[in-house]
């Protein structure tokens, strides 16, 4: 009887803690309607990583730019590259997630077969995340891949879509996303790579930045990558069809 009562109390406390955490997230997101977030969970983890690495100078670039001062080229490029239906969906693209799940399962099977032949190779994991999902993860969560973390990401995504207009979601995303080692936000990226402000980016420059987003640190080291150039040209061609919120 005593163990049953103790277990019940722990369950109640756990439920209260979960509800309190969700209310905290809701309050944080509601404040973002009028208050620009000063940092994200991902930024803080990156800052800590850089600070704790020996013999590595701490360099950080970030400057907030309001939505109207961001280049429409960059907005269209990021939407065309990352989330073509951003202006229309409710935060989650279920079909894209299903396709990514299938591709990842196939990649894992291929990796298992190659390991049996003595050529082990980690599978390439493909994501199906929307811009809103990426923002939810960057703002509040760690980078671990677990079902619990993914479930929390979905809840945060729906809350972002419920409380913030699409323009605000895109504004926060473009001001906080990583574009290189210690380079966060569109203004810092524009200055770092092109020595100009974010509102002066050309269509091609914006497309190059958009293509970098999945692997910014990798492409920062190879700015003349043939893939980067070719992919940027493809994104430029798609930008005319990208609908801004």
Domain harbouring 208, CATH code: 1.10.3810.10
The larger pLDDT score, comparing residue 174 to residue 141, is at 174
Whether 80 is covered by a domain: the verdict is yes
In sequence order, the 6+-apart residues with CB closer than 8 A to the CB of 143 are: 42, 45, 137
Whether 225 is covered by a domain: the verdict is yes
pTM: predicted TM-score of the whole model, two decimal places: 0.85
User: Which token pair is 134?
Assistant: 């990426």
| Distance in angstroms (rounded) separating the CA atoms of residues 221 and 228 | 12
Q: What is the pLDDT of residue 169?
A: 97
Is residue 135 within 8 A of residue 173, CB to CB? The reply is yes
Q: What is the pLDDT of residue 17?
A: 87
* Most confident listed range (95-99, 122-126, 148-152, 228-232): 228-232
Whether 115 is covered by a domain: the verdict is no
Q: Is the pLDDT of residue 95 over 90?
A: no
The larger pLDDT score, comparing residue 97 to residue 134, is at 134
From the number of C-beta atoms within 10 Å of its C-beta (0-12, 13-18, 19+), residue 229 rates as middle
Whether 69 is covered by a domain: the verdict is yes
Whether 134 is covered by a domain: the verdict is no
Q: Lowest-confidence range among 21-25, 170-174, 190-194? A: 21-25
Q: What is the pLDDT of residue 142?
A: 78
Whether 122 is covered by a domain: the verdict is no
> Which whole number is the average pLDDT over 173-177?
97
Would you place residue 9 in the very low, low, confident or very high pLDDT band (cuts 50, 70, 90)? confident
Span 23-78, pLDDT tens digits: 999 999 999 999 999 899 999 998 888 888 777 777 888 999 999 999 999 999 99
Would you place residue 111 in the very low, low, confident or very high pLDDT band (cuts 50, 70, 90)? very low
> End-to-end distance of the chain based on CA atoms, in angstroms?
58
Whether 183 is covered by a domain: the verdict is yes
Angle in degrees, CA 193, 195, 197, rounded to 5:
105
Would you place residue 126 in the very low, low, confident or very high pLDDT band (cuts 50, 70, 90)? very low
Residue-number span of the structural domain to which 85 is assigned: 30-90+166-241
Q: What is the pLDDT of residue 98?
A: 56
Q: What is the pLDDT of residue 192?
A: 95
Whether 227 is covered by a domain: the verdict is yes
Q: Lowest-confidence range among 10-14, 60-64, 77-81, 111-115? A: 111-115
Q: How many domains does the chain have?
A: 1
Q: Closest by alpha carbon to 77, among 207, 221, 192?
A: 207
Would you place residue 107 in the very low, low, confident or very high pLDDT band (cuts 50, 70, 90)? very low
């Amino acid at each position: 009887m005593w163990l049953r009562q103790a277990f019940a109390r722990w369950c109640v406390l756990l439920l209260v803690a979960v509800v309190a955490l969700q209310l905290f997230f809701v309050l944080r997101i509601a404040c973002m309607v009028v208050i620009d977030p000063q940092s994200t969970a991902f930024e803080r983890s990156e800052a800590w990583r850089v600070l704790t690495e020996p013999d590595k100078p701490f360099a950080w670039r970030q400057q907030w730019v309001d939505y109207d001062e961001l280049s429409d080229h960059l907005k269209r490029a990021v939407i065309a590259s990352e989330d073509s239906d951003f202006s229309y969906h409710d935060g989650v693209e279920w079909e894209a997630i299903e396709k990514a799940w299938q591709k990842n399962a196939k990649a894992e099977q291929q990796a298992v077969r190659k390991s049996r032949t003595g050529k082990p190779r980690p599978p390439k994991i493909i994501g199906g995340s929307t811009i809103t999902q990426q923002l939810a993860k960057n703002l509040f969560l760690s980078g671990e891949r677990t079902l619990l973390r993914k479930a929390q990401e979905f809840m945060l995504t729906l809350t972002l879509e419920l409380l913030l207009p699409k323009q605000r979601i895109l504004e926060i995303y473009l001001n906080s996303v990583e574009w290189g080692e210690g380079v966060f936000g569109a203004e810092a990226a524009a200055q770092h790579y092109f020595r100009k402000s974010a509102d002066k980016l050309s269509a091609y420059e914006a497309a190059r930045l958009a293509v970098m987003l999945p692997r910014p640190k990798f492409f920062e080291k190879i700015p003349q990558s043939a893939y980067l150039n070719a992919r940027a040209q493809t994104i430029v061609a798609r930008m005319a069809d990208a609908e801004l919120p």
